[in-house]
Structure 1
Amino acid sequence: MSKNEMQIDFTQLANVHFLQNLLVCPLCQARLDFYHDAIACTSCAQKFPQVQKNCIDLLPDHLVENEWNQWGERQQEMEQWYSDLIAIPLHAEWCFANDYTPYAPLLATLSGLVLDIGGGNGVVRHFLPKDVQYILLEPSLEWLATEWTLIAKRYPCMETKPFFVRGIGEYLPFPQQSFDAVLSFWSMNHAHQPEQVFHEVYRVLRAGGRFLVILEDMEPLWRDFAARTYITLGVAHWAHTFVQKLCCLGRQKWSLQNDHVRIQESEIQQWIAGNFQIVRRSWIGQYLTFELQKI
């Protein structure tokens, strides 16, 4: 097979010319050449072997293998959790409904070209407008497993594979100002370098573009308790969180899941300074949610 003739079975945006215009080298943002079994950068000569027909693989493996050992371990733990979840499809359906439904009104306002960083199986498509062009960036190929079609009755979008690009948020394989919106649902806490992800999102967003970030294991501010933000979680959880906050006064660290990295809200304020304005900051359930807009 000759160059630029890839056998990729996409159900959405499955146009080779579209891919050539959209994708760039994740390391240097130069143009890519497409071959039947690999993609190569025209500038830095980095090659990305292609072993799956239903995704584009632009993961810089040498970075992950040589420098990100702990990240790989966290990824494996996360993959196992979701593998156990889909083993009981009804539990998976309930989990996604519980997590995504509160965001449905906000997701329904998105339009244009939307990038989902670490979006897993792409179930968020169920909550997006039909005319949105959706692209999923995800490092784990486990999400392409056929088991996820078991929840297609509840989420019909799962009958088809999303436009799946294998990659990481620290090295987005897209040109600057490509997207109208970027999503990060519970993926930022899995990143190796979250600050770099914020910078990369700024680069690929168009002017005025929106960045929706949902974070786990975040320490609430005292004003969150004063505003009774947690009341939707129930009194027991509110009290538990308040006690945990008091414990932090004794220099104890806020609890953190094993597969997560710690992110402070003060760090986020530094990362977005001069690049994003905060449109909305709120707690939705136990998740700290930011809707940001590129300045």
Structure 2
Amino acid sequence: MKLNTLLLAVSIASSAFSAHAAGAASAKFAAAWNDNPVNFVSVAVIPDVIADAQVVATNDGYLITTIKVPQDKELLVGVSAEIGLTTDTSLKGKDGGAAKAIADGSAWVLLTATPVGGGDSVNAAPGAVMLSKRIQELNATLGGVLDTCTDSTGGMDENGLMPGDEGYVDTPDGTIDAALECTTTDEQIGLMQDTLASHHFNFILPNMDAGNYEIRAHFMTRASAEVDIDEVSVAEGGTISGSSYAKAFVGKHMVTVQQVRAVKGSLADVDIVDN
């Protein structure tokens, strides 16, 4: 896995998926990035099933850089990442079979600062942030595709014989009852979406104590696939099966850290009130 680092002012040790650098020189800016197109991947798959099913998959990892902070300084951290989501759902059935196929993919990030050499980690404000999420639900009741139809009375013929009797003659009555006089094949419906987009979010670490810090961007992906069969429709003679597929991944990603000093009183957690 290739890791690139950029340090302005002076060089700062930086690494990905490692414990921590031995030390860091004072600097006002640090950055680390990874150009591996697919790093943290979650995939959930449900093949063609006729009963309720659910699969959930998660994956996580982090990108890390190190910076030295003077007393009572703020760190402004930006996290950027490509997020890819794929959702694919399909249903197949006939004779009134009903079901839902659901695919869910998401990716989010949490930014933390940990003193080099040991100490408690601090979560950057505003906490964990959802970078991208999609829930796709396919809901269908399927009657089937008409295959062949035969016009018949289905009852007593003109000689008083019933179906199955020797010599029975089935006389067409000029009308077709689809439920009784037609055969059907499965009807199928599906929906697939595949997206890749770049996302960015800013974090703040206020009033930091002096020292060297590991800045970690913790990424997590989640994929969920679910098929929910309508048992009532099956009990009434319908047939139905469903498939679901979900994939979420973090592609190229970057974390940038700036040592800043906020204007006094400018950092606040404010509720927006509608007038």
Q: TM-score range by the shorter chain?
A: under 0.3
Scaled by the length of structure 1, the TM-score of the pair is 0.22
In the superposition, the TM-score normalised over structure 2's length comes to 0.23
Q: Which has the higher contact order (CA 8 A, sep 6+)?
A: 2
In terms of fraction of residues, the more helix-rich structure is 1
Structure number with greater Rg is: 2
